[in-house]
Amino acid sequence: MVTYVCLGLLFLFVVIKSANYYSRRKRAPSPEQLDILVRSILKSGQRERE
């Protein structure tokens, strides 16, 4: 009986943690955002070389 209670609590814990993870998950950046990021990285790399 105690084992079932422990398993139930563990299951609830996993469900709550999974729900929190999926709700806080970052969304994938759009292609435009990726282009801007790559350009800024390339520009900062060129500044360091000069």
pLDDT, one tens digit per residue, over 13-42 is 999 999 988 888 777 778 999 999 999 999
Handedness of CA 7, 10, 12, 15 (dihedral sign): negative
Mean pLDDT of 4-19: 96
Altogether, the residues listed in the chain come to a count of 50
As a whole number of angstroms, the distance between CA 29 and CA 13 comes to 30
As a whole number of angstroms, the distance between CA 3 and CA 13 comes to 15
Segments making up each domain of the chain, as ranges: 2-49
Indicate if the pLDDT at residue 47 is higher than 70. Answer: no
Q: What angle do CA 27, 44, 28 make, to 5 degrees?
A: 10
